[in-house]
Amino acid sequence: MKVTDKEVSYVAGLANLQLTDDERVGMVRDLNAILGYIDRLNELDTQNVTQTLGVESENFSVSWRDDVREGLRKSLPHEDAMQNAPLTDGTFFEVPKVIEK
């Protein structure tokens, strides 16, 4: 599956990105290179591949960090969040629709 210039332009428009012609061409090239690499990876035989996390060997070790609860804090009160919102119906934030123009 190849990404087309039209598809990149469409998605850039949805994201409100203004790409130059060179940026758009580069994006098409980069995305197609990524998809090509994924296609190459999909050709590999992974039937006998196993997960190695949690297994230590001379070439691989896992360093787990402690689950630390310090730094947790209460979230912003709902009323304060609504006061700072540019648009709200009193309960929810209101945002403009950007999916389709």
What's the mean pLDDT in 90-98?
Answer: 85
Q: What is the pLDDT of residue 29?
A: 97
Residue-wise pLDDT for 26-81, tens only, equals 999 999 999 999 999 899 888 887 766 655 566 666 667 777 777 777 888 888 88
1 has pLDDT over 80: no
pLDDT digits (tens, 9 = 90+) for 9-23: 999 999 999 999 999
The percent of the chain in helix, strand and coil, each rounded to the nearest 5, is: 40, 0, 60
What pLDDT is recorded for position 52? 60
Could you tell me the residue ranges of all domains in the chain?
A: 5-42
Of 54 and 24, the one with more pLDDT: 24
Residue 90 confidence (pLDDT) above 70: yes
Distance CA 7, CA 41 (A): 24
Query: What pTM did the predictor assign?
Result: 0.51
Query: What fold, for 5-42?
Result: Histone, subunit A (1.10.20)
Please list, in sequence order, all residues whose beta carbon lies within 8 angstroms of the beta carbon of residue 56, skipping any fewer than 6 positions away. Answer: 62
- How crowded is residue 8: how many other Cβ atoms within 10 Å of its Cβ? 22
